[in-house]
Every structure is written in structure tokens, then in C-alpha cells.
Amino acid sequence: MRPSLAVRTLTFYLPLWVFLIFLLFPFYWMLMTAIKPNRDLYNLALNQLWTAAPVLQHFETLLWRTNFLPWLRNTLVISVGATALALLASLLAAYAIQRLRFWGSGFLGVAIFLSYLVPQVILFIPLAQIINRLGLWDKPTALILTYPTFLVPFATWLLMGYFRSLPVELDDCARIDGASRFQVMRYITLPLALPGILSCLIFAFTLSWNEYIYALVFLSSTASKTIPVGLATELVTGDVFQWGPLMAGALLGSVPVALAYSFFVEHYVAGLTGALKE
Amino acid sequence: MARVEAAARRPLPRTLGSELLENRHVLGGLSVSPALLLLGVFLAYPFFLGAWLSLTDARIAHPGRFVGVENFAYLWGDQVFRLATFNTALYAGVAVVLKLVLGFSLALLVNREFRGKRFVRAAMLLPWIVPTSLSALVFYWIYDSQWSVITWMLRRVGLVEGFINYLGDPNLARASLIAANVWRGIPFFAIGLLAGLQTVSPTLYEAAEIDGAGAWQKFWAVTWPLLLPLTVVVTVFSTIMTVGDFQLVWIVTRGGPANATHLFGTLAYQRAIQGGYIGEGAAIAGFMLPVLIVCVLLAFHYLRRD
């Protein structure tokens, strides 16, 4: 028997709407604040949830009167660099551990999984010393080299799952035909694992883009900061809050990851759940 | 396939190097070395360096000397550290339970066919996707003592007369941060558990229905036991991340008011990076290790069973 509309509304649509409003309201509020003129923003007599005359003044302030553009460039450089480095290392490691089954590969798989569980707050104090000693203080290289510590375990684990799903017989066939081990990897395994590699790429990029604590600790000058750190430290200026530009920045800083992920939402979900199930 | 054949037909140069690369132990060792080098220098080494630093009186520009468990003994008697321990336990305990209950509910809700399913499943992930520091800024703004939109709505409907100082009162500040953390973590639970729900065979529910089970009974007799291993793993991951939280608290309250929202992470940052007491900060971070070890053992126990 199909439940009546009233029952379905109470047990399904109503809770679903409550969830959606709870989860999406902060984004709506971000957008509203970013496009409201200042005189409406700080006038509690008006309807706060809507604006009749949206403006772009906060975006103009953000782009031309703050360091947002340098931060954007820094964030891009660091995210791309860290992603490339981590992906290269993870691809080789995952392939070797999963397909070559060399001496010690089982132990290494477990060790890499364990390193995935070490939170950044345990590492940032000693890492700050290491970065200092290497002379990388306030340089993007500091982050490009340290972000792989949380990207590599994750990406390796995810890629191992993908490689495991590809039949070994394909490798064997190519080997019988005389391909070297490197050729097998280059021409057989990597092209077949492309969906997995893509979702790793998205993952690694968004994780680097979102990183906060290492960027807060290792970068000190205003111009060298990333978006997540720059907005929160430089635009929250004492008693004068620039809520409009701040929310405009939050919006612009969220768009790249939201876009990256929306194109690959299926891969993303598959990757995330795959990584959890492994 | 054409490319494959072409590659395979090419005669292989038989040099010593290529011979060695054909050995899977040599090639395997070479292939994992970049990853091991990165993880060794920037993860394993700092991990042990941190343990060493926690046993020294290191300060900024002072290398420090071995002082045994002095930092830990000092912290044990430090009121602020005790408060941070209480806060971390409260924050992680309440937030993880809420995320589990709400995330599981959301997973059950969207695990069916309905119009707009794709949109809902994509949209519900957003809090998890966007940079936490940026959503923390939105919560900072939503919790503003004067311009808060929550206060505005409550005043509009006549529930509240004055203003609410969300981040000025210790308990209100804790509750506000937990709400923001739950907001961010629900999608992680929902999407992880949704994937698990989709692997449950519908015939099990049909069998339960034939036996006369209601929705509640079906959940406790079929769904819950089948999803328990996955639930434990997701909860363990979330517990590690919540205990090790930093950015949400640091951006919204900086550990205030009167240290009421300091977690291990924010206190360690304040003492080591801002205050310069590196040994002490490392010891605070070290107090997270027992939690981490229990979590790792739990995760392993349930992953092995899978």
C-alpha cells in the first residue's frame, strides 16, 4: 500500500526540506551579504533576507582594494604544485604496492593508511621548525612540500582501490607480448585507471585549496598568504568589519572547488565512498 | 590497442638498467620512494620530532634541553589546559553523536527514488566541499552580536526582545561552534552511509516485511547491523577530525570567551606559535595521541572484519 501524501509529507518532504534549509542557508546568507549595499546591510528595520537593489560594490572593494588577487594566485600556484607532486608520488606508489607486489608492499600499504590518520594539529609545531631550518619560511614551496603529507596517503589509498579493480590478466597479456613493466604501466594500467586518477586530482586540488593551519603557520607576510588564511586574518580588521567584501571573498573562494566538484560529482562520491570502504 | 601493440613490438634495449627495472622488487622500491621520501621527511620525522620536543623546554630561537615529563606535569596542573581538555571532550562528543544521528537520518531520507534526487544529493555535499575557513567566516557573521540574521529572525517573529551575544557567553559559544561543526560534518556521514545503504540487498527488506516487520524494526534488524562496520569507520574518521579541529574554532572565537572554547589544537597554536613555548605546545598536541591510538585500533579492528 502506498502511503498517503500527508504521511509522505510528514516523514519525507518535511525533514528533507529542514535538512536542505539548514545545510544551504549559510550559502544563501553568504550571497545575500555579498550583494547587499552597505546601507541595507546594517539596517535592521529592513527585510534582511532579501535585497531589492543588488550591487557589486563589495566585489569591487575585494578585488581592487584588498590583496585578494595575489592570494588567489598564491592559492592556485600552491594547489596546482602540491596536487601535481602528490599525484605523481601516489600514482607510482599505488601502482607498485598494488600491482608489483614487491617485498614489503603489504607493510607499506598499511603504513600509508596509518599516516592518513595523523591529524595536522599534531604535526604543525615540529613542521614549523623543519620549514624554518630548510629556509622555506613564508615561501609557497613550504606548502607545496607539506600538503602531500595529507594528499599522498589519501590518493594512494584511493588509487590502490582502482588498480585492484582492474584485471591482472591485462598486464599478463602485455607482458607475454614483450612489454616491459614500465610499458605495462604507461600503456595499460594508467589509461584504464583514468577515472580514478581524475577523482584523485579533484580531491587533492580541493584539499589543497581548502587547507588552513599550515598556511596560517608557515606563511607570514600579507602578500604571500592563501585565500582561506588571507580573508580570515587580513579582512577581519579590528572593530570595522567589512562583512560585504568578506562574504564576497568567501563566495569567490568557494566557487572554484564547488565547480571542480560539480563537474565530477559522480567520481567524487564514488571516490570518497570507495576510499571509505577500502 | 594499436598503441599497445606498437609499444610491445618495439625491441627492448637489453641494458643492465632495463634488466634491473624488470625486477619487480627493484622497480617497486624505486616507485614508492618519492612517496616515502615525502611522508618520511614531512610526516614521520615531524611526528617523532614532536614527541621529542614535548619532552624539552624548547622555545623560539632556543633549541631547548631534555626536561622529561615536566611539560606534561605542568599542563596537568594548568587550569586553562584542563578547561581545553573538557572543551575538546564536550565538542567532539556532542558533535560526533549529532553528526552520526543527523547524517544517518539524511542518508536514509535520500536513499530512495524521488524527484530532484540528483540535485539534493549534490547540494547536500556543499558544506563538506567548500573551504572550512570560509564557511567559518559565514558562521562568524551569522553569530554576530548585533547583526546576526538568527537574532533578526527571532525578533521578527517576536520570540526575542533584545540581542543575543552568541560568542560572548561560554555555553552559548560552545553550542554555536558545535552547531557549525555539525553543519560541516553531516554530509560526510550522509554520503558515506548512503553508499553503504545502496549495497544492502532489497530482498532482505522484503523478507523482513513478509515476517511482519515495521519500518523501525527493519532499521534495527537489517540496516543497522549490516552498516555497523562502515558506521564505525566513518565515526572513527570523524572523531579524529573533530578532536583535531582547529580552523573553525580559531576563526570564530580564538578560543574565547575566557578560554571557554579552546581545543587542544587552538591552545597548542596559541602557546607554541604565538607564545613561543614550543615544548609546551608540542606536549598539548601530544595529549591527542591516546585518542588517536584508540581510534586507529578501532578502525583496524573493523576494517579487518570487512
Per-residue pLDDT at B5: 52
Instruction: Place B4 in a pLDDT band, splitting at 50, 70 and 90.
Output: low
pTM above 0.80, yes or no: yes
For chain B, give the secondary structure using H, E and C.
Answer: CHHHHHHHHCCCCCCHHHHHHCCHHHHHHHHHHHHHHHHHHHHHHHHHHHHHHCCECCECCECCCECCCHHHHHHHCCHHHHHHHHHHHHHHHHHHHHHHHHHHHHHHHHCCCCCCHHHHHHHCCHHHHCCHHHHHHHHHHHCCCCCCHHHHHHHHCCCCCCCCCCCCCHHHHHHHHHHHHHHHHHHHHHHHHHHHHCCCCHHHHHHHHHCCCCHHHHHHHHHHHHHHHHHHHHHHHHHHHHHCCCHHHHHHCCCCCCCCCCCHHHHHHHHHHHCCCHHHHHHHHHCCHHHHHHHHHHHHHHHHHC
- Distance in angstroms (rounded) separating the CA atoms of residues B101 and B95: 10
Which of the residue ranges A42-46, B135-139, B264-268 would you say has the lowest mean pLDDT? A42-46
CB contact under 8 A, B24 and A102: yes
pLDDT greater than 80 at residue A1: no
pLDDT greater than 90 at residue B36: yes
Per-residue pLDDT at B22: 74
C-alpha separations of A205 from A80, A131, B19, B129, B205 in Å: 7, 22, 37, 11, 40
CA–CA min distance B20, chain A (Å): 11
Tell me the per-residue pLDDT of A194-215, one tens digit each, with 9 for 90 and over: 888 888 888 899 899 999 999 9
CB contact under 8 A, B286 and A121: no
CB contact under 8 A, A269 and B129: no
- % of chain B exceeding 70 in pLDDT: 94
pLDDT greater than 60 at residue B9: no
Per-residue pLDDT at B1: 46
CB contact under 8 A, B149 and A49: yes
pLDDT greater than 60 at residue A159: yes
What grid cell was written down for B192?
A: 558515506
Mutate which of A113, A114, A122, A145 to test chain B, going by most B C-beta atoms within 10 A? A122
Q: Is the dihedral of CA B49, B55, B58, B63 positive or negative?
A: negative
pLDDT greater than 60 at residue A263: yes
- Distance in angstroms (rounded) separating the CA atoms of residues A158 and A207: 14
Per-residue pLDDT at B301: 81
Per-residue pLDDT at A135: 93
Instruction: Place A265 in a pLDDT band, splitting at 50, 70 and 90.
Output: low
Higher-confidence residue of A117 and A15: namely: A15
Higher-confidence residue of B21 and B70: namely: B70
Instruction: Place B12 in a pLDDT band, splitting at 50, 70 and 90.
Output: low
Higher-confidence residue of A156 and A101: namely: A156
Q: How many CB pairs under 8 A join A and B?
A: 299
Of A7-11, B58-62, B87-91, the range with the highest mean pLDDT is B87-91
Mean pLDDT of A233-243: 73
Residue of B nearest to A249 (CA): B134
Cis peptide before B257 (omega within 30 of 0): yes
Of B4, B196, B292, the CB nearest to A174: B4
Per-residue pLDDT at B14: 62
Residue of A nearest to B134 (CA): A250
C-alpha separations of A35 from A31, A61, A64, A258, B140 in Å: 6, 12, 16, 19, 18
Tell me the per-residue pLDDT of B186-213, one tens digit each, with 9 for 90 and over: 999 998 899 889 888 889 988 998 988 8
CA–CA min distance B238, chain A (Å): 10
The strand pairing partners of B62, in sequence order, are B59
pLDDT greater than 90 at residue A47: no
- Distance in angstroms (rounded) separating the CA atoms of residues B109 and B106: 5
Interface of B with A in 4-43 (CB under 8 A): 4-5, 7-9, 12, 18, 21-22, 24-25, 27-29, 31-32, 34-36, 38-39, 41-43
Per-residue pLDDT at A74: 95
Instruction: Place B113 in a pLDDT band, splitting at 50, 70 and 90.
Output: confident
Average pLDDT over all residues of chain A = 87
Residue among B238, B144, B261, B229 nearest B182 (CA): B238
pLDDT greater than 50 at residue B178: yes
In which element (H, E) is residue A240 found?
A: strand A240-241
CB contact under 8 A, B35 and A217: no
User: In this predicted complex, what is the ipTM?
Assistant: 0.89
Interface of B with A in 198-257 (CB under 8 A): 230, 233-234, 237, 240-241, 243-247, 250-251
Which of the residue ranges A51-55, A246-250, A271-275, B75-79 would you say has the lowest mean pLDDT? A271-275
